Amino acid sequence: MARLDPHSYTESSQPLAKHVALTLYFDFAARTIHGSALLTLPAAHTGPLLLDTRSLLIHSVLDPHTTGPIPFSFPSDPTPDPVLGQPLCLSLSAQSAALVVFSTSPSSSALQWLSPAQTASKAQPFVYTQCQSIHARSLFPCQDTPAARLVFSARLNLPHPLTAVMAAARAAAPRDPVPGEAGSACPDALWCAAGRSVEEFIMDRPIPPYLFAFAAGDIAARDVGLRTRVHAEGGAALLDAAAREFAGAEEMIRAGEALFGPYEWGRFDLLVLPPSFPYGGMENPMMVFLTPTVIKGDASGAQVVAHELAHSWTGNLITNKTNEHFWLNEGFTTYAERRIVEVVQGEEMAALNMGIGWRGLNDEMDRFKDNMEFTKLKPNLEGIDPDEIYSQVPYEKGFQFLWRIERQVGRPTFDVFLKKYIAKFKFQSIDTETFLEFLKANLPGIENQIDLKQWVEGTGIPPDAMEPLSSIYSKIVSLSNEFKLGNIPKKQEVANWSGQEWELYIENLPKSVEPSQIAALDAHYRLSESRDYEVKVAFLQLAISSGCKEYFGEVERTLKQVGRMKYLRPLYTALVQGNAEEAKLSARRIFAEARDTYHPIAQGVVESILAKHS
């Protein structure tokens, strides 16, 4: 018996399911989904089959052909692992399929249920999923490792007037329920009750479970481009703004295809979520999920869209086998994102993003100075919750590694290599060793030119990483250095700065400065009131670390408006990290008041920040 992945109970000696058919009945009042998952194996199997579950109630397991019961047990009963959950062991006898009947629970971490008050339109409830990295198991029983790719079909039963979207293709228009079609998932009396409708979807390309995604609510849509439509709850004004913000999507897809090969997913739709969405974006295939904070009215959401689009090649086509190889996913995507940005927004903007990334990578070295394992490209994650150690390291060290290789072999050669790599491993889940072998085979001699072992297994930032110098980057960094001498940038120096320039400027300031300087900077440029959350949060973080109490109110408003972890993390950390008792107390009070509005993943992350500094 050997596990395939430190974050899954999946056994390497057992077959991986190739298909799952899901039937899901949504009970908004009880914040519960009653469902069934029909898992199909490549061939008949006899013996145990371990599945991952967490916060699921398993009602029964049936043989779909005979409808007879399949014996099952919970080997770790009664103490589920807080991170991994509880393995469900089916005992199969020459069976190639099993129907697991289950219910989610209100604490299922893949789901956020929003009351009407928590939505933009305030009229209807909303629910959405976030399965990366290991939350799919709280939604349906599965082999929840990216090593296991599967295709699926899904049948969703919703109350009027809610509609659903999925990271999948729509198989049929919404229709009335039909008796009998729910099988064991739920009684016909519920399934066919008045005011229910059924929506069906299909994903015919094999995906890892973390890319399974849906949302349901009062969702409407606008066309943006040939293969792109934007969906959102929140009414016409939000949709119009989103459609404007994302108008460049088609140009980006074409840029991606020119660089990395055909776009393999058919549609590239976007879903704008309510503000509690815990990430900037999530690359769910065919339907990228986005935070509403990317809509700023200045087309700057482009970077996030470029990133999630880039995953269509690096991540969704080639997936990391386990989270220890996460850099294959995010490092490649960060590299690919910047190549797309370079085409559509120019070299300067790409260089600026690289500069922000470099700053971020250096900050992570400080964060992990007592735990250098997490500065490795390929860390040991045995016993570690991936949400806990989420960092810029796989993104930015991964980016630096690929950029280093590009510098060594030259861009034309590297571009040929990239296309070949994607074509070779598409629809597979691979590990770092597989990448390295392919690298050495296709760029002969590379191992003599670059210390691959140091890049992959070493801690810290390798000496041949490179600070991404460009004129705009150097200018901003020198203005940040000027600030230390008491100089605030002049109006004409910042005249055409967008959010990204400000972000880089603020992030290059010392971590704590004279409160009077903070006040002076804000008096000039109103950074604490910026509509751009990247700028506002960077500024507020600096203000709190510098002991400026007058910003507590703005920090509290921000922490209650948005649930994106990129903003929650630095603000809560800044509040609790110093010695100020008052700041610590506010952090606890604000969290107690805002907790229910955060996604379960974000709740966990904030709880651990508060616990670390108690």
Residues noted as catalytic: 308, 395
Spatial CA neighbour of 428 closest among 152, 169, 148: 148
Q: Binders of ligand BES among 312-341, rule CB under 6 A?
A: 330
CB-based contact 216:114 (threshold 8 Å)? no
Residue 611: what residue type? A
Q: Which does 269 bind (CB under 5 to 8 A by kind): Zn ion, ligand BES, none?
A: none
* 199 in contact with ligand BES (CB under 6 A): no
Site for ligand BES in 94-153 (CB under 6 A): 132-133
Stretch that binds ligand BES, among 150-158, 307-315, 475-483, 551-559 (CB under 6 A): 307-315
Tell me whether residue 140 or residue 390 sits nearer to ligand BES (CB atom).
390
Work out how close the CB of 319 gets to Zn ion at its nearest, in angstroms, rounded to a whole number. Answer: 12
In the region spanning residues 376 to 415, those forming contacts with ligand BES, defined by CB under 6 A, are 390
Letters for 550-569 (x = contact with ligand BES by CB under 6 A, - = none) are ----------------x---
Residue whose CB is less far from ligand BES, 35 or 331: 331
- From the list 17, 147, 252, 282, which residue makes contact with ligand BES (rule: CB under 6 A)? 282
Closer residue to ligand BES, CB minimum distance, 376 or 599: 599
Instruction: Write the single-letter amino acid at 198.
Output: V
Q: Tell me the closest approach of the beta carbon of residue 340 to ligand BES, in angstroms.
A: 11
Instruction: Give the amino acid at 267.
Output: R
Residue numbers 411-450 binding ligand BES by CB under 6 A? none
Interaction between residue 283 and ligand BES (CB under 6 A): yes
Work out which of 279, 327, 533, 539 binds ligand BES, going by CB under 6 A.
279
- Phi/psi at 370 (5° precision): -95, 5
CB 591 within 8 A of CB 572: yes
Residues 6+ positions from 253 with CB-CB distance below 8 Å: 225, 227, 228, 263, 268, 309
Piece of the chain touching ligand BES by CB under 6 A; list 93-101, 179-187, 302-310, 602-610: 302-310
445 token code pair:
């001699």
Based on CB atoms, which residue is closest to ligand BES, 281 or 355? 281
Contacts of 399 (CB under 8 A, 6+ apart): 331, 334, 335, 338, 354, 357
Residue closer to ligand BES, measured from CB, 231 or 311:
311
Cβ-based nearer residue to ligand BES, 307 or 321: 307
For tokens 């203005």, name the residue: 479
Residues in binding contact with Zn ion, number by CB under 5 A: 2
Token pair of 606 as six digits: 């904030």
Distance (Å, rounded) from C-alpha 15 to C-alpha 496?
57
Binding partner of 129, given Zn ion, ligand BES, none, CB within 5-8 angstroms per partner class: none
Length of the chain (residues): 614
Per-residue b or e along 576-587, where b marks 16 or more CB atoms closer than 10 Å to that residue's CB: bbbeeeebbebb
Closest CA to 295 of 242, 258, 344, 259: 242
What number of chain residues touch ligand BES (CB under 6 A)?
Answer: 15
Distance of closest approach, residue 219 Cβ to ligand BES, in angstroms: 21
Indicate the residue among 260 and 505 with the shorter CB distance to Zn ion: 260
Query: Hey, is 144 helix, strand or coil?
Result: coil
DSSP 149-214: -EEEEEEEEEETT-EEEESSEEEEEEE---TTTTTTSS-HHHHT-TTEEEEEEEEEEEE-GGG--E
Site for Zn ion in 304-343 (CB under 5 A): 330, 333
Q: Does residue 390 sit in helix, strand or coil?
A: coil
**Binder to ligand BES among 70, 142, 147, 304 (CB under 6 A)?**
304
Neighbours of 357 (CB within 10 A): 21
Determine the interface stretch with ligand BES among 97-105, 259-267, 276-284, 406-414 (rule: CB under 6 A).
Answer: 276-284
Part in contact with ligand BES (CB under 6 A); list of ranges 29-37, 44-52, 95-103, 301-309 = 301-309
> In one letter, which amino acid is 280?
G
Q: Which of ligand BES, Zn ion, none interacts with 86 (beta carbon under 5 to 8 A by kind)? A: none
C-alpha 154/C-alpha 202 separation (Å) is 6
Residues at the interface with Zn ion (CB under 5 A): 330, 333
Residues at the interface with ligand BES (CB under 6 A): 132-133, 279-283, 303-304, 307-308, 311, 330, 390, 566
